Amino acid sequence: MRDAYVVGAGQTDFGSFPDESYRSLFATAVDRTLASADGLGRGDVDEAVVGTLGVGGRQLGLSGPAVTEFAGLSVPTTRVENACAASGYAVRNAVQAVKSGMADVVLAGGYEVMTDASGDATKYWLGVSGETEWERLTGTTFAGTYAQMARAYLDEYDDATVEDLSRAAVKNHANASENPHAQLRFECSLDDATDAATVADPLTLYHCCPTTDGAAAVLVVSEDVAEDHDDLDAARVAGVGAASDRVGLFERDTYTAIPASERAAESAYEMADRGPEDVDFAEVHDCFAIAELLAYEDLGFCERGEAPHLLREGVTNRDGDLPVNVSGGLKAKGHPIGATGAGQLVELWKQLTGHAGDRQLDGPEVGLAHNVGGSGGAAVVTILEGDTEREGKR
Amino acid sequence: MRVAGVGAYVPRFRLSADAVADALGQFHARGVEAVAVPDADEDALTMAAEAGERALGAAGLAPESVDALHLASTTLPYEEEAGTGRLRSLLGLDEDTESAQFTGSTDAGGAALAAGLERDAPTLVVASDAVRGVDDEAFGHAAGAGAAAVVLDRDGPGRVTARGSQTTTNPGTRFRERGSAQTTGLGVTSYDRQALRETLAGAVDGLDTAGVDAAALQAPDGDLPYRVAGALGLDTETVAAGSVVERVGDAGAASALLGLADALRDGAQRVLLATYGSGAASHAFRVAAEREIPVRATVTGDRALSFAAARRRRGDFDSGTPDGGGASVSVPSYRRTLAARHRLVAGRCRSCGALRFPPEGACGDCGATDGYEDAPLRTRGTVETSTTISQGGAPPEFAPQQARSGEYASAIVAFESRGERGGAVSVPVQVVLAGEDAPGIGDEVVSVPRVLYDQEGVRRYGAKALPADSRRR
């Protein structure tokens, strides 16, 4: 199969935007994406794939065309729903379309508006991606399910502590402070994070991502298109892997790993002919602090139970050997559910093509994005490589 | 028909007379020291299920062997709808169980028992009530809660040696208007006493009350039973031996039956049981234990509540389920899974034998879609992981429960199969807390029937759990 490239990427700021609609946010992401893809315009796009959960209950049917037509993209549009992994999967679908030869230029993105609902409505929507017929009927929302995972993790690994969860939050807040698109651009201390109000024991407020409005998109093209447009800043899609699992945590064999993440990563590494040791930086799905620790282990960045050590030793800091969530992650960049996966790929593309501004890493070549739906009912892992032959054109 | 076993359940919470007097500046329920208060997720049906399960356990009767179910209550969650339908499922009785519902009068417990004695196959009689009244009347101050159940069969150790009944015409002593949750009455003291006295005396007339060890009389408060004792040929010690009202309050249709359970457990051999409902009607029974009648009764409380905490549990201080939407489990799809929800019935894969909960969909072990054999789980399980859902953290459909009862835990619990093949399966379950810490990993919990939530006017029941050391005997 032919190669696919990401040749443009854009996102709105992530945050709370009472003056924007889900359509206007998506249109802004499309504009910025196309503007970043020198030489390609709306007329070149063959197809669009849009991820959204539909938080708030707005346009649940035809939620793809509702935004692409508004954004001036009158192309076949498919909406993808895989909870928080919606647009990670949208990008995967775009890659499949391009690699199969059915399309040459596909826009893949996502959007969500979460901050215009009442507190009660928000709690309703935050639970809809958990297992709704059994798990939710114990009176839990999402924070509760991840708290159960955190509790099990702290129980299984004696030296893991609540402070280790806080370390992920502290790091991601520090990173977000350098990202102009991030929602929570303030630093926090280890004590701030550990001593904050409990949301679901042992998770505190600082261990939980915020609710966020935002949209993000990337442009995926065939190698022919990439070759025809020398000016494009291209990152090759080296590998993409996806996996599903039981939606309810109680239905799985382990509470201290996300098996779908492991399997998605295996597929992506195999396709890319790479291993975790080749990854220069990663954007991982840290909806709750425990999720970042599990991601390190599921993605093979360390052995089981070793994630706290990566955090304590600063390995995943921006200046560490394996920077993780340089964007601020879901924790501090924000988590507009349907836009999150695409937003991770925006960060990968920017870092690999030298567009990351003040937070630019030093010449990374391989980036990995890890996007999880629910508590692990779906996961998608995407590996992008900078195109070293094009380096001079950055 | 004979008495094979007796069960009783009273909620753990108590509101003391002193606490009410402190809050309201008055307390008019004579002889009542404390009243039982149901938790926010308890109602007449969950209490009936608790009492029924205890009675069946005491009698050693399997639920599927029950031929008839008689349910008595004045405070069922619906004015119209057969509560026996839910209770049958909560208890695991077969669908071919004949059922009858007795309501509209606190005499219903006696009426249900009298009807049960006319049957010729195992019958479970359950009386359950959670009484309410306004806060400036004795009815409100006395309002308690509880449930009692009697298993009748052909060869139980207890025999009803005599019985009687009476129907008089005494309107206005106690009533609840259509649509109201509050029991009230005219409060004509001498008239009220006379109504009780003449109706009870008529029912008891002809029963040999001499030689009874205890008299379990309808007890709207802790004073009236003693006021009528003389007319029934009873002394005050005998009445006291069959009384729980001072500890439980007015338990409505369950009142006298709770006294029976308590007296039998204390070793009484011959008990006079007399129920009464305003209007007025009464049923009386002379129960003799020819051998020891097995009793499983949970009557004592272990948590004192302030007046505010008690009223909070009753829902007086919250606005109910907020807008925003609840977990959408349609009633038809809910009904399809009742065995799992009400009684923790898991499934054993027909292909590989692995346990699965809920027993539907492809097997988690072998992937087969051959379906499942019923695999009932034990009521005691071990916590695999849990978290505390703090105030404000509940999804909308659980917000009223949290506003009323406070923190609870959401847990995953491993329950073992009851069958010989053994094995355990993970079940998501809410752990009800009453000030305890959430159970830790490895701690034991015990499943209990509770209300999950109301949606579109329809109440959902399901298994929750209590920390094992909070389970009262």
Burial status of residue B332 (CB atoms within 10 A of its CB: 0-12, 13-18, 19 or more):
exposed
Query: Does A144 contact B387 at a Cβ distance shorter than 8 Å?
Result: yes
CA distance B90 to A239: 52
CA distance A217 to chain B (A): 30
**Which residues of chain B lie closer than 8 angstroms to A198, CB-CB?**
388, 390
Do B64 and B93 touch, CB atoms closer than 8 A?
yes
Is residue B399 within 8 angstroms of chain A, CB to CB?
Answer: yes
Chain A stretch 126-145, residues whose beta carbon is closer than 8 A to a beta carbon of chain B: 126-127, 131-141, 143-145
DSSP state of B160: E
pLDDT, position B329: 85
Residues from chain B contacting residue A148 (CB–CB below 8 Å): 385-387, 410-412
Do residue B412 and residue A123 have CB atoms under 8 angstroms apart?
Answer: no
CA-to-CA dists, residue A264 to A293, B261, B304, angstroms? 17, 61, 53
Q: Residue A127: closest CA among chain B residues belongs to which residue? A: B395
User: To which residue do tokens 């001072």 refer?
Assistant: B246
End-to-end CA distance of chain B: 28
Number of H helices, E strands in chain A: 13, 11
Q: Note which residues in 199-238 of chain A have CB less than 8 A from chain B.
A: 199-203
Q: Which residues of B19-43 are buried (b: 16+ CB within 10 A; e: fewer)?
A: bbeebeeebbbbbbebbbbbbbbbb
Q: How do residues A227-248 score in pLDDT, each as one tens digit?
A: 999 899 999 999 999 999 999 9
Nearest chain B residue to A255 by CA distance is B385
Least confident of A120-134, A207-221, B87-101, B292-306: A120-134
Is A389's pLDDT higher than 50? yes
Q: Which residue from B57, B55, B163 is spatially nearest to B71, judged by alpha carbons?
A: B55
A73 inside 8 A of chain B by CB:
no
Classify residue A355 as exposed, middle or buried by CB count within 10 Å of its CB (0-12, 13-18, 19+): middle
Closest among A326, A239, A237, A317 to A284, alpha carbons compared: A326
State residue B473's pLDDT score. 64
Tokens of residue B438, six digits: 């959430």
Q: Please give the structure tokens belonging to residue A41.
A: 């315009």
Cβ proximity of A370 and A265 under 8 Å: yes
The shortest C-alpha distance from B315 to chain A (Å) reads: 18
Percent of chain B with pLDDT over 90: 91
For residue A1, give the 3-state DSSP assignment. Answer: coil
Q: Which residue of A has its CA nearest to B452?
A: A137
Q: How close does chain B come to A391, measured CA to CA in Å?
A: 49
Chain B CB contacts of A375 below 8 Å = none
B440: left (phi over 0), alpha (psi -120 to 50) or beta: beta
- Residue written as token pair 């009410």: B20
pLDDT for res A392: 39
Sorting pLDDT into bands at 50, 70 and 90, what band is A130? confident
pLDDT surpassing 80 at residue A46:
yes
Q: Is A188 a catalytic residue?
A: no
* Contact indicator for A335, A283 with CB cutoff of 8 Å: no
Query: Cβ(A130)–Cβ(A141) under 8 Å?
Result: yes
Q: What is the CA radius of gyration of chain A?
A: 19
- Paired sense of beta strands A203-204 and B123-130, if any: unpaired
Report, as an integer, the average pLDDT of A210-220.
98
HEC secondary structure over A137-181 = HHCCCHHHHHHHHHHHHHHHCCCCCHHHHHHHHHHHHHHHCCCCC
pLDDT above 70 (res A393): no
Is A309 assigned a catalytic role?
no
pLDDT for A122 equals 85
Partner residue opposite B410 with nearest CB, options A120, A140, A155: A140
Pick A127's closest partner by Cβ from B327, B358, B386: B327
Give yes or no for a contact between B387 and A152, defined as CB atoms under 8 angstroms apart: no
Confidence of residue A375 (pLDDT cuts 50, 70, 90): very high
d(CA A358, nearest CA chain B) in Å: 37
pLDDT at A387: 76
Written as one string, the DSSP assignment of A178-206 is T-TT-S------HHHHHHSPEEETTEEGG
Contacts of B324 in chain A (CB under 8 A): 117-124
Distance CA A35, CA B306 (A): 65
Catalytic residue, from A84, A188, A287, A302: name it: A84
Q: Give the closest of B393, B427, B460 to A200, CB-based.
A: B393
Query: Is B428's CB within 8 Å of A155's CB?
Result: no
CB A77 within 8 A of CB A49: yes
Interval A324-371: pLDDT, tens = 999 999 999 999 999 999 999 999 999 999 999 999 999 999 999 999
The strand pair at B158-170 and B279-289 is best described as antiparallel
CA angle, residues B139, B140, B144, in degrees to nearest 5: 90
**Residues 405-464, chain B: which have Cβ within 8 Å of A?**
408, 410-412, 426-430, 438, 440-441, 452, 460, 462
**Contact check, Cβ <8 Å, A120/B322:** yes
Number of H helices, E strands in chain B: 14, 20
CA B206 to chain centre: 32
Contact criterion met (CB < 8 Å) for B428 and A144: no
ipTM over 0.85: yes
Helix axes A162-176, A289-298, angle to 10 degrees: 90
| pLDDT < 50 positions in chain B | none
User: Catalytic one among A173, A181, A335, A370?
Assistant: A335
Checking phi first, is residue A108 left (phi over 0); if not, alpha (psi -120 to 50) or beta?
beta
